[in-house]
Structures are given as structure tokens and as C-alpha cells.
Amino acid sequence: MKSLLVFSLALVAVYGQGLDPALLKKPATDAWPTYNGDYSGRHYSTLDQINRSNVSQLTLAWSSKLNAPLEGPNFGGEHKDGDPYFWGTPTAGARVAGEPLLVNGVLYVSAPDHAWAIDAHTGKEIWHYYWKTLGGIHIGNRGMAMYANWLFFETPDCYLVSLDATTGHERWHKQIADVKQQYFCTPAPVVIGNHVVAGMGGDSLDVQGYLQSFDPETGDVQWKWYTTPQSPKDPGYNTWPDEYARTHGGGMPWQPVTFDPGLNLLYVTTGGANPTFSGKSRKGDNLYANSIAALNPDTGKMAWYFQFTPHDTWDWDNTQNAILFDAEFQGRQRKMVGMAASNGYFFVLDRTNGKSLVTEPFVDFPNWVLRKAPDGHLIPNPAKEPSIGGTLIAPGKATNWPPSTFDPQTGLFYVGMTQGFNILYASDDSERPEGYAGIGTGSGPYGSAGAIRAIDYKTGRIRWSFPLPASGVQGLLSTAGHLLFGHDTARDFMALDVDNGKPLWHAQLPANPTNGPQTFLLDGKQYILVAAGDTLYAFTLPK
């Protein structure tokens, strides 16, 4: 064991020398230093060593099954009688839903309650850290952030943990939210300057969402932004009927933020309003739930907001990746932010001021919208709210948190989506419903079908669609090699031609991929990395 530890630390001494902060503002090439690879959220790579002319030769370089015992080497073990408050289940095994960081030849990977350093050349473990949980929902973990030689990740019981990247030893941990109130934490933090920006989830009880910035050295809170207005002077304060509804209104920010260094604005997307399937006690649009907001990362002050689903009663968390891009629109260059939302609509906004440029459906038959306002906002149909007898809704949930991607070469957004219906039943008809206050049946009596769709950012029109036999919600990666990486919902990891969706390569895995694919250069060779459950798979071209 001692010799293994010495060997592991020697690997880190060679490769793990801390993160150059300049890498965070550059396209990801020989590093993947933050969630999505860079601040833009585009999930696009400028690498083209692997391209549509040679992708058919892609082969497995290594695979690495993550070691995730219930009792780890740092502080932990199974929950015992007399331990602090607990609900949920400690994680035995791992499911990688987030994206590993790659810095100086080392991959930093996380799953609920666990973190690892992995040699990117071989897939061998360097160190493993285990967090002793106090409970929380162990639904997933979306990755880590890095500042200098320090790592940061969130735990299911809502702590922000900082580790030494060289050894995996804990530096400090700070509470983000109280697990006793049934908050739970899944996002990847994002480092912006000297800020570690972290969000949370929680919709079992009617609690309030907020985004926080932590000092990377001490863990002290620098600022907190609430996802509902706190003062009568705040925009949107009157979109809630009373203080109780406002301060129990949800709007959880559980998608990692994106950031524009030129404008010095971060973009945070928010979840649905609480109670989830009932709006009786929260009449109004319920800002800033189901929205995107632009914040100053140094102060947390909001510059603008735009709401995608007013008065959401369909559980359409607006926590998709907000993609930043600069391109021509109606004859002039614009700074834009775009996203395909879970409500079935594709949106493009001017990211300097939040003004709407495009609002168009990317599903075939959304039935919840009464009309589109001239300013691009959608007006919901009150008749489509959940009811005691059941209400037929389309879409069920068109997409979710896995990253879509934007390719600046084609001008197309690519999104993994599902086309289908849901029947929503209200279960609490009181004037003050609580919690979920209803239930959905999933795809409804008409079933559902998935697809990967390519969307023209200028018009919102579908350029091509690759049909899938099951839910197509998945993470995607586009590259300068004219490739789009995703999966076929039948365990085949695949590459499509970005121009037309033609399949060019596939490799069958033991399970469908569980995170967004990523790519990087290592010793001059391009690799494609993806996770399926507890195993990482690295592909490259043969020598």
C-alpha cells in the first residue's frame, strides 16, 4: 500500500501542477479545466485531429472502473446509530453524471460522496476521497471546479468541499444549505476569478433557491443571490401573491453557470416554482423561477432576467446549459445566449440586455402555450394546468440538464430531446398545497420518441433530426472535425456528421453514456472521453 501511495503521488508531482487561470478563458484543447470545457457552455471543441474522414478508425485506448467503496481513506464509513441526522442512502459504487476536469494530464472525477484523481494516460487511480454523508438525495453529481491546486465539489447533503489536488486531502468544507430542509446539491461549482460559484436543488419541501459565491481560500461566503425577489424594490416582486409564497417558491439553480469575461456577467438558469404541480397558492408569473438571470460575479447583483415558463405547474425546470456565442443575426454581429428548454421551446436572447431574438418550438406539438407575446415571452394556457381528473400535456419534458452543444462552423444547436405527452394529476386541491402537490404519468397513453435535433439559431427551425427509439435526452459534444458525439439510447456511443446527422462511427458500451462527452489533446493525440455508469472510456486513433 505504501509503495502504491508513493507511486500515485509521484504521478501527481509530474502531471498535477495546478491550473493556469488563463486556460479558463481559452477554448479547451490540452485541458478541460471547467464544466463544459470553457466558460461559454457551447460544449464545442476546436480540435480536429479526429474528424469525419478518420473517425471510423476510432478505437478504445483505455477504460477505468472507478473504485467507490462505502468506507474511504479520508473521513467516512457507513452511517452508524448515533450519527447526525440522516436520510437517503450512502453510495456504494458510482455513477458519473458530470464531466471530469483534465489539468496537466490528470483527470479529476466526482460522483455522489466520492472524488478521484485519474492518470489520463492510463486510466489508473492516483487518489480517492470519500465524504461521510448526512443524507440527501443521491441522484447525481455534475463535477468539480479547480482554482490553482485546489478542487471544489458539492455533496448530496449540501456541503462545498475543497480538496488538495495533489493528495486528495480535504482542506475545508462549508455548508451550502440545510439537508434537514430537504435541500440537496448536485451542480458542478464554477470558478470565476476568486469566486467559487455554487448552486443547489430541492423540491420535496417548499424551500427557497439561491446561488452563492465562496472564497476559494477560506470557504467564506462572498455573496448570495436569491432566485425570488426579496424586496418590493426588486423587479418581479409582485409576481408572487404574498411573502409566504415568495420565500417558499423554489427556483433552484442546479445547472453550472456560464460566464462572459468581456461583459463580466455570469448566466444562471433556474428550476421550477414550488409547489411543483399546483399554482393555486402562487398566482402570478413567479419570478425568477424557470428563468435565466445575468449576474455580476463580483457582487451577485442582477443585470437582467428573462422567464421561459411563466407560472410553471409542469415541473419544467429551466436548468439547461445557457450557451454563449457571438454571431451574425439579422445583418449585424450580436452577443447572444441560447438554449433549448425543457418546455419544448428554443430561445435566443441578446446576452447584453436579455432581449428576445428567437422563440420557437423544437418539439412538434406543444399544447401548453396560449400565444407568444411580441417580446418573445410565452403565455401559458390556464386550461392545461394539472387537474384532479388529469390533464394531457405536450411535451412531457422535452429535454433536461445534459449539455446540448453549439457548433460555430454550422451555426446549429444540437439537442437530445424527447417528443411525447404527459398526463398530470393534481393531488392537493387545498388553498395552500405543499410539496409536489400532484403526479405525472410520464409519457402518457401515446408513448414517446426521442431524437437528436439540429436547430438553426437564426430562425429556430429544425435542419435535421436523427430519430431514436427511446428518450433522446443526453449530453452532446460537437467538434471542429465536423463531428457530433452522442448515443443511440441502445448502448451505442456514436459520432454523427454535424451537417446532416449521418452516422459515421459507433462503439457499444455496457450501458448508455451517463455524462456529456468531452475531448482533449494528450501528448499530441486527441482523445474522446465518455462515462457509462461507474466506468470511464477513452477513445483515440490508432498509432
| The predicted structure's pLDDT at residue 29 | 93
- Residue 139 is predicted with a pLDDT of 86
Pairing of strands 44-45, 477-479: parallel
Signed CA dihedral, 36, 41, 47, 52: sign only: positive
3-class SS of residue 245: helix
Q: Given the C-alpha cell 474511504, which residue does it identify?
A: 72
d(CA 381, CA 530): 40
Q: Are 185 and 161 in contact (CB under 8 A)?
A: no
Residues 148, 329: Cα–Cα separation, whole Å: 38
**Taking the C-alpha atoms of 319, 321, 323 and 329 in order, what is their torsion angle to the nearest 10 degrees?**
-50
Amino acid, single-letter form, for residue 49: Q
- At residue 40, the pLDDT reads 97
pLDDT for residue 319 = 93
The span from the CA of 138 to the CA of 145, in Å, is 19
pLDDT-flagged residues of the chain (< 50): 1-16, 71-77, 84-89, 91, 444-446
Distance between CA atoms of residues 224 and 434, nearest Å: 25
Which of these, 272, 197, 280, lies nearest to 227 by C-alpha position? 272
Identify the pLDDT of residue 438: 86
pLDDT at 435: 83
> Considering Cα of 121, then 528, then 318, then 88, what sign does the dihedral take?
negative
Q: Which is nearest to 153 in space by CA: 140, 136, 134, 135?
A: 140
Give the DSSP letter string of 8-43. HHHHHHHH-----GGGGGS--SS-B-STTSSTT---
Q: Do the Cβ atoms of 119 and 97 come closer than 8 Å?
A: no
CB atoms within 10 A of CB 154: 30
**Residue 252 half-sphere exposure toward CB, CA atoms < 13 A:** 26
Residue 170 and residue 73: Cα distance in Å, rounded?
11
Q: In what order do the strands lie in the sheet with 195-198?
A: 190-192, 195-198, 210-214, 221-226
CA–CA gap between residue 375 and residue 42 (Å, rounded): 25
Domain that holds residue 242: 2-540
What is the C-alpha separation between 489 and 204, in angstroms, rounded? 29
Q: Could you tell me the maximum CA-CA distance found in the chain, to the nearest angstrom?
A: 68
**Comparing C-alpha atoms, which of 287, 269, 312, 309 is closest to residue 228?**
287
Give the number of domains in the chain.
Answer: 1
The rounded distance, in Å, linking the Cα atoms of 457 and 440 is 32
Q: Integer distance in angstroms from the first to the last C-alpha of the chain?
A: 34
Can you tell me the distance from the alpha carbon of 319 to that of 324, in angstroms, rounded to the nearest whole number?
A: 15
CB 171 within 8 A of CB 148: no
Grid coordinates representing 25 are 478563458
Using DSSP's 3-state secondary structure scheme, residue 430 falls into: coil
CATH number where 296 lies:
2.140.10.10
Three-state SS for 141?
A: coil
**Residue 94 has what pLDDT?**
79
Amino acid at 408: P
Catalytic residues, which ones? 315
Three-point CA angle 293, 144, 42, nearest 5°? 50
C-alpha cell belonging to residue 411: 451555426
- What order do you get walking across the sheet with 265-269 strand by strand? 258-260, 265-269, 291-295, 302-307
Q: Determine the Cα–Cα distance for residues 370 and 248; give it in Å rounded to an integer.
A: 27
CB 46 within 8 A of CB 519: no
Instruction: Please give the Cα distance from 12 to 419 (Å, whole number).
Output: 46
Phi and psi for 384 in degrees, rounded to 5? -100, 10
